[in-house]
Structure 1
Amino acid sequence: MKRILVAPLNWGLGHATRSIPIINALIANKFEPVIASDGEALRLLQKEYPQLQTLELPSYNITYSKKANSFKLKLIKDSPSLLKTIKREKKITESIVESENISGIISDNRFGVRDKSIPSVFITHQLRVLSGSTTWLSSKLHQNIISKFDECWVPDHTGTNNLSGALGHIEGYESSIKYLGPLSRFEKQDLEKKYDLLVVLSGPEPQRSFLEVKLFDELQHFNGKICFVKGLIEKEQRKTQINHITTYNFMASQELEKALNESELVLSRSGYTSIMDYAKLEKKAFFIPTPGQFEQEYLAKRFEEEQVAPTCKQRDFKTEMLNEIENYHGFKYLQYDLNYKKLFGLF
C-alpha cells in the first residue's frame, strides 16, 4: 500500500474536517494515509482515525487580533515568524518523506508540506485571496505558492453555479487545477427534528471565545431547543444542560452529522467548509463572519445577496434576527460524482 501524507492547516477546524472525505477515499482506494498537522486540527483527526499514524508539524500560530481592523496588520507583523515556520516545515516534510516511505503528499493550505521527489498536491478554495486593497498582492503570493505543487485541487463546482465565487474561480489563471466538487464528510438523513437551532463554533482565538460569550448571552431569549457546539477539541467530551440550551465542547463527525440532520436551523461562522456541509445537507443557516476575515465576510455577503442565508456583524447580533431565515431559501445540493480512482492516479 502506498503511503500518502495528508496535512491540513490548523486554522479553525475546517481544513481538518474537509480532509476527512479525502482520507476515507484514500483508504477505500487501497492507500495508507499518514496524517500530519498540529493543535486542534491534529487532535480532531486523531479522534476520527485512531488506527492511522499521526505526526506533529510546526504550528503556524495563527491567531486573530482582538480588534477586527487590526487583523491584516497582525498577519504582516507575524509574517517573518510564519516564513521561518514554513521553512522548518519543509525540512521536516523532507525528513518524513524519507523516514516514513511516503509516496505522495496532499497538503491543505500548508505551504511547506511538499517534496520535489514525489507528487505533491495543494488543496485550496482560494485562488484569489481577499485582503482589501492588497488583494492583488496576496493573490499573487498565494498563486506563486500553488505553482510549486504538482496539482491544485479546488473543492468546488466548475462554472457559475458554485460555492466559492470569486475566491475559487479566476479567468485566465493557468495552473494544474482540478475542481473536485464540494467536499463534505456528511450525508443527508431524514431524521425527526430534535433542535430548533444548532450553533456550531470554531476558528482561532480570541474571536471564537468572543462569539461564544455573546451568543450564549443572547440566546437565553431564544424560544426553542438549542444544541450549542463550542468547537473545543479536548480529551473528553463534556455535555451540559442549562434551561433550553444543551452544550457540547465538541462533537465527533457522526454526532455532528446527526445533530445537523436533527436541527431546523444552523447558526455559525461563514467558513467555506461549513458552507460545503450545509450545501450537502440542504440546510437553512444564519452566518456571523469572523471580524476582519475578508474571505468569510465575502462569502456571507454573497449568500445573503443570493437570498440563500442572512448574515450580520458579530457585534450586531440579536436573537430576533434569526427570524429573517424564513425569508431566505437555504442551500440546495448539486450532485457531483468525483472519480477518486482517477484523481489518485497522480500517485
Structure 2
Amino acid sequence: MKKKRILVAPLNWGLGHATRCIPIINALIANNFVPVIASDGVALMLLQKEFPSLSTIKLPSYHVTYARNGKFLKLKLLKDSPKLLKAIKAEKKMLKDIVEMQNISGIISDNRLGFYHKRVPSVFITHQLHVLSGNTTWISTKIHEKSIKKFDACWVPDVDGEINFSGKLGYAGSFEIPTTYIGPLSRFEKKGLKIVNDVLILLSGPEPQRSLLEEKLLSEFKTYPGKVYVVRGVMENEQTIKLMGNMTVYNFMTSALLEKTINESALVISRSGYTTIMDLAKLNKKAFFIPTPGQFEQEYLAKRLTEMRLVPSCKQEDFTMDKIKDTDDYKGLEPVDFEVDFKALFSLF
C-alpha cells in the first residue's frame, strides 16, 4: 500500500515552531507516513538540516519583525498586519496546488493560519487558545479562534490539568472545534552526562530583539569566571565556532549537538518561549529567563514560572550577570509524565 503524504508546515517566527515539529515528523515516519515539510526562512533551513532526505517546499514569508522598543510591539504588529494577511492569502493559494501536485492526505499546520484545505484533514497546532495582547486580549483571542475554526482539529502541546506549562494560554473555556491536549513536545532526551559548562546562552526569535540581547549578554559575560557556551540561533549554510576568551560561540547547533550541550550545562539563559520551556523541562534544567520585550506571551510565561519558584526572570534592560545567583533559590524545570499517543492522533488522516 502506498504511504500517505502528510504536509507539515510550521510558522517561521523564531525557531520554536519548527523545532517542536521535529518529534511530530519523526512520529509520522515511525507510523509509516511520508512527511513533506513546508515553511520559509530559518525554520525551513533548520528542518532541511534535520531531515535532509525529506522533500521541502518554500512558502511565502510572513515578514514579521519586532520593534526595537518593546512598548511599540503591538503597534508594529498592527502596522505589519497587511503584509501578514497578504502572506496568508498567498499560502492558501499555494496550498491548493501543493495538495494536488504532491498528493497530500493530511495537513499539520503549526500556527500557519492559511494552511487548511476543505478536502484534506487539516490540524492546527497552538499552545495559545487564549491570546494575550494586553487590553485587547479578548479581541485577539476571538480573532484567533475564528481562524482555528477553519481547521478540522486543534492540538495543544500541553497537558489538560492544573500542573501544566502554558497556564491560562492553553485554555479558552468553550472552543468549538475538537481540541486535544497532546502533551509537551520536545525533540530532546535527558542524558546522564557530566556537567562541563557553567552557563549556556540560547538566543532565538525575530530581529532586532535577538541581536539586542546577544549584544547585552556577550558584554555581560566577558568577565565571567566560568565556562560559557553561546548558541546565537542564526541559521546559516555552514556552522561556525568562535572562541572569545571564556566563551565558545556557535551560530547554530543541530538537534543532536544542542541536546548534548544542554544536558552538559548547569544553567541555561534564554527567552521564555514556550518551546524552550518544554525542552528545558524535558531535560530537567535550571534556567534564567529574559522575555522578549513587549511580547505578552513570553512575559506572562516568565512571570508565572518565577511566581511558582521554578525559574527566575527579569526584563531585558534589567539583566546583569549577578542576577544568575538567584537561580540557587529556584527549583528549575521538571518533565511531565505524559506519553503522546501519535497513532490515535494520526488516525485523522
Shared fold per TM-score greater than 0.5: yes
Matched, 1:38 2:40: yes
Q: SS of the counterpart of 1:51?
A: coil
Contact 1:221 1:319 in 2 (8 A): no
The aligned counterpart of 1:202 is 204
**Partner amino acid for 1:21?**
P
**Superposition pairs for residues 220-231 of structure 1, below 5 Å?**
220-231=222-233
**Partner amino acid for 1:181?**
G
C-alpha separation between the residues in 2 aligned to 1:175 and 1:85? 25
Matched, 1:184 2:186: yes
Q: Which runs of 5+ in 1 are unaligned?
A: none
Q: SS of the counterpart of 1:55?
A: strand
Deviates more, 1:11-20 or 1:163-172: 163-172
> How far apart are residue 81 of structure 1 and its match?
1.7
What whole-Å deviation, never above 9, does each CA across 1:242-266 have from its counterpart, x for those lacking one? Answer: 1110000000000000000000000
C-alpha separation between the residues in 2 aligned to 1:304 and 1:176? 32
What whole-Å deviation, never above 9, does each CA across 1:187-234 have from its counterpart, x for those lacking one? Answer: 000001110011000100000000000000001122210010000000
What whole-Å deviation, never above 9, does each CA across 1:45-104 have from its counterpart, x for those lacking one? Answer: 000000000000000001001111111011111111211110111010111001100000
C-alpha separation between the residues in 2 aligned to 1:193 and 1:65? 37
The aligned counterpart of 2:64 is 62
Contact 2:201 2:231 in 1 (8 A): yes
C-alpha separation between the residues in 2 aligned to 1:265 and 1:234? 26
**Partner amino acid for 2:21?**
S
The aligned counterpart of 1:97 is 99
The aligned counterpart of 1:317 is 319
1:234 pairs with 230, 233, 236, which one?
236
1:276 pairs with 275, 278, 286, which one?
278
The aligned counterpart of 1:153 is 155
What whole-Å deviation, never above 9, does each CA across 1:154-209 have from its counterpart, x for those lacking one? Answer: 00011110000010012233321000100000000000111001100010000000
C-alpha separation between the residues in 2 aligned to 1:312 and 1:142? 29
The aligned counterpart of 2:9 is 7
**Partner amino acid for 1:205?**
E
C-alpha separation between the residues in 1 aligned to 2:155 and 2:241? 37
- Matched pairs, number: 347
The aligned counterpart of 2:341 is 339
Contact 1:131 1:294 in 2 (8 A): yes
**Partner amino acid for 2:204?**
S
Q: Which runs of 5+ in 2 are unaligned?
A: none
**Percent of aligned pairs with the same amino acid:** 61
The aligned counterpart of 1:250 is 252
RMSD across aligned positions (CA): 0.7
The aligned counterpart of 2:177 is 175
Q: SS of the counterpart of 1:256?
A: helix
1:25 pairs with 27, 33, 57, which one?
27
Q: SS of the counterpart of 1:127?
A: coil
C-alpha separation between the residues in 1 aligned to 2:87 and 2:250? 33
> How far apart are residue 319 of structure 1 and its match?
0.1
C-alpha separation between the residues in 2 aligned to 1:316 and 1:223? 21
Q: SS of the counterpart of 1:346?
A: coil
Instruction: Write out the 4+ residue segments of structure 1 that deviate beyond 2 Å after TM superposition.
Output: 170-175
C-alpha separation between the residues in 2 aligned to 1:112 and 1:249? 31
